[in-house]
Amino acid sequence: MRRVLNTESFDVMVIGGGPSGLFTSSLLSQNGIKTVLIEKDSEIGKDVVCSGVISKEAFSRYDLPENAIVGTLKDAELHSPGGIQIPYSHPQETVVVVDRHKFDGELGKSAVQNGTHIMLSSRVSSLSVKENFVEAEVKTPDGLKIINSKMAVIATGVSFNLQASLGMGRPKKIIKGIQVEVQADDVNKLKVYWGNKVSNGYFGWAIPLHDGRTRIGVMTDGNAQEGLNHILKDVGQYTNICNDIGRIKRRGISFGTIDKSYSDRIVAVGEAAGLVKTTTGGGIYYGLISAEIASNVIQEAFQKDDFSSRFLSKYEKLWKNELGNEIKLGKYFHKFYSKLNDNSIDTLFDAAKKDGLLSFISEQGKFDWHKNAVLKILKSPNLRKALLWESINNAREKIAL
Ligand X SMILES: Cc1cc2nc3c(=O)[nH]c(=O)nc-3n(C[C@H](O)[C@H](O)[C@H](O)COP(=O)(O)OP(=O)(O)OC[C@H]3O[C@@H](n4cnc5c(N)ncnc54)[C@H](O)[C@@H]3O)c2cc1C
Q: Which chain residues interact with ligand X by CB under 6 A? A: 15-21, 38-41, 49-54, 123-124, 155-159, 177, 179, 217, 251, 253, 270-272, 276, 281-285, 287
Cβ of residue 354: shortest distance to ligand X, in angstroms?
30
Q: Of 14 and 352, which has the nearer Cβ to ligand X?
A: 14
Distance CA 335, CA 279 (A): 11
Nearer to ligand X among residue 51 and residue 380 (C-beta): 51
Least spacing, CB of residue 112 vs ligand X, in Å? 16
What pairs with residue 87 in β-bridges?
77
- Residue 145 CB, nearest distance to ligand X (Å)? 12
Give 17 or 195: the residue with its C-beta nearer to ligand X: 17
Cβ contacts of 322 within 8 Å, gap of 6 or more: 289, 293
Angstrom distance (rounded) from CA 228 to CA 214: 13
Is residue 1 exposed (0-12), middle (13-18) or buried (19+ Cβ within 10 Å)? exposed
Closest approach of Cβ 83 to ligand X, in Å? Answer: 25
Distance of CA 108 to the CA centre of its chain: 19
CB of 190 to ligand X, least distance (A): 11
- How many residues are there in the chain? 401
Nearest residue (CB) to ligand X, 255 versus 337: 255
Nearer to ligand X, 219 or 297 (CB): 219
Angle ∠(10,11,16) on CA atoms, nearest 5: 75
Q: How far is the CB of 9 from ligand X (least distance, A)?
A: 18
Q: How far apart are CA 87 and CA 326, in angstroms?
A: 25
CA atoms within 13 A on the CB side of 232: 20
Phi, psi of 231 (to 5 degrees): -70, -40
199 or 344: CB nearest ligand X: 199
